[in-house]
Structure 1
Amino acid sequence: MRRGLIAALLTSLLVVTAACGSSDSTDSSGSSDKATKSAEATAPAKQKTSTIDAVKVAGDLGKKPTVTFDKPFSVASTQSKVIKEGSGAKLAEGQEVVVDYVGINGRDSKEFDSSWKNGGPTSFGLAKGKLINGFVTGLVGKPVGSRVLITIPPKDGYGANGQPQAGIKGTDSLVFVIDVKKAYKPLSKAEGTKVTPPKGLPTVKTDAKDIPTAITIPKGATAPKKLVSQPLIKGKGPKVTAKQTINMHYMAVNWRTGKPFDSSWQRGSYENLPLTRTPVKGLTAGLVGQTVGSRVLLVLPPDQGFGQALPQTDVKKTDTVVFVVDILGAN
């Protein structure tokens, strides 16, 4: 799955996301079969498989668990078990979930990712393609408020390619313990009262379903020197705060050239933006205080933008960039 250029720059790249790896059996390059054969050739000749019952989890709900098992640990299929059951509604695919979690490599029992280490709970879209398949399979149907243990084989994790940056090989099984804190369904697009913006700003074209398809820079206009944050639709939800992660659809255009360089709508999947972690100051400054359900036009001068040239685009370090953002949810 191709990760959006801006999303990769704006958000912390968490290992459980499917952005830099995939558990799909095929990919666009057609090289999956070769990779699988290569991985099989280098796999241990007699790798014993186990079950989820071989993993022991200790510790209080809400605190980082202690996870123990005999290594190397390997499973043939995704297995999940509720360690401590919550009283909330059961999770469904397509929801946004807020979790704490720790991920451990079954081969060497080393931790490769943890929200407790990263500074706090993390928000995910619970859907295959956004997360590794085993993570989704293991969580769907579990009650909110639960602590869940999931064991995942390579085919439901990162496949034959593994995840080298996390030290995960193509033959490694994964162990996760997840505390499910919250679940909700984000909006599909902005909803609320339309706002007439002042003259002289970029204009946003939408399709028959009111989805933004283009941003037009006013001819001959000089880019603003200060951040512009202009609602186009005023949502009726709560105000966004600086410590939240927002679910958003967006389109981005270079003011200098008028060319679009990224769009989550074109990819067909919204993105999550942790406002405390993005290096793009103008996004945090322009979205904090706006309400969920809003559509916001943002004009970011260079000192509020990326602070660098963006690869594979025409955006320079000195360029002003324009966003239109739909705020679909916040947690």
Structure 2
Amino acid sequence: MSRVRSAALSGVLSFSMLGLAACGSGSSDPQEGGESLSSVTIEGDQGSEPKVTFDGRLDGSKDETEVLVEGDGEEVAEGDTVKANWWIGNGFTEKEAQSTWTKDGAPQSVEMSEDILPFLRETVIGNQVGDRVVLLTSAEEAFGEGGRPDIGIGNKDAVLAVVDILGRSETVPPLDGPQGEDKKPAGWAPELVEKDGVITGLDFSTAHKPTGKLIATTLVKGDGAKVKAGQTLTVNYLGQVYDADKPFDESYSGEPAEFPIGVGQVIPGWDERLVGRTVGSRVILEIPPADGYGEQGNEQAGIKGTDTLFFVVDILGAS
């Protein structure tokens, strides 16, 4: 008999300034009056992409979780790094929204930290390696207040998630700083301002004016592994609006930041330009509004919808 339990999702993520770039029109009640989890047919072996058949739109107002395939591996705990694949469906439109099997089916490596998306915490933590877990919930509970409009899930939609827990990974300690081959940065890049060896800002006096394009230049080419979508990055970073006198956010004066990359949890420019880099790299990014916070900007950080953002990022680890 499958292990079945009602979902008790943790609260939605507390997104930092680097949080979700795409937001819906605000929180609202999930769609009610649809079908339950038992109306859905999910076929296929654990480890292969599931075939999902809907029998009417789903009701995401009552969370349901079920272990469809029981594994015999170790139980996953908070802080573990796991390899997993997942399939996400919109329970209102009855269409696939996202599948990590779409490209090459390679497992995603994700650390079970407080910063990961709630649907992953609910389907992975407390379950076992080898499990296939299905979750029916609301968009707000699965992804946060705005849902995921970038993959076709509005903040009122029901969400169906099928997650295969494929293994656990050993965690490699993050680096203390950039490590690799020094490179000459592009001429358009601002210069780093440092105090006692710590980056404190960017100097735009010799930098070009923003081009409206998403571009990057390498200061150190790391000698570590390539960053893959779905991994959790450990980075130090500093962000500054073009021609501003001081940064709007930075981590160099405190602790490095951690967040999943390539899955829509950070601004698009980060997802686009950090995936494929190597651990140990230091890069400078020029990010136009469309790849940053969009026309709405980020009022809390003092960023307008027309501002171009520059970041220096040290990639210290990927797990």
* Structure-2-length-normalised TM-score: 0.60
- Measure the CA separation in 2 of the matches of 1:155 and 1:257: 35
AA aligned opposite 1:150: L
Higher helix share goes to which structure?
1
CA RMSD, 1 decimal: 5.0
In structure 2, the residue matched to 1:62 is 47
Give 1:203 deviation, angstroms. 2.2
Q: Does 1:181 align with 2:166?
A: yes
Q: Does 1:327 align with 2:312?
A: no
Q: Does 1:272 align with 2:257?
A: no
User: Equivalent of 1:250, from 232, 236, 261?
Assistant: 236
Identity, in percent, stands at 19
**Does structure 2 retain, via aligned residues, the 8 Å contact 1:4–1:264?**
no
- Measure the CA separation in 2 of the matches of 1:193 and 1:160: 35
After superposition, what is the alpha-carbon deviation per residue over 1:48-86, rounded to whole angstroms, capped at 9, x for unaligned?
6x4x55443212333211123432343633312141525
- Measure the CA separation in 2 of the matches of 1:281 and 1:111: 21
Q: How many residues align?
A: 272
- Measure the CA separation in 1 of the matches of 2:44 and 2:257: 36
Q: Does 1:149 align with 2:134?
A: yes
In structure 2, the residue matched to 1:77 is 63
Unaligned runs of 5+ in 1: 14-19, 22-30, 207-211
Unaligned runs of 5+ in 2: 1-12, 183-190, 209-215
- Measure the CA separation in 2 of the matches of 1:282 and 1:175: 26
Gap change, CA 1:184 and 1:260, over 3 Å in 2: farther
* Residue correspondence of structure 1 range 292-311 to structure 2 within 5 A: 297-299=282-284, 305-306=286-287, 311=297
* Structure-1-length-normalised TM-score: 0.58
AA aligned opposite 1:260: P
Structure with bigger gyration radius: 1
AA aligned opposite 2:258: Y
After superposition, what is the alpha-carbon deviation per residue over 1:93-133, rounded to whole angstroms, capped at 9, x for unaligned?
3334432211223345322222223665444443455313x
- Measure the CA separation in 1 of the matches of 2:195 and 2:172: 20
- Measure the CA separation in 2 of the matches of 1:160 and 1:308: 22
**Does structure 1 retain, via aligned residues, the 8 Å contact 2:89–2:95?**
yes
AA aligned opposite 1:77: D
User: Equivalent of 1:202, from 184, 189, 193?
Assistant: 193
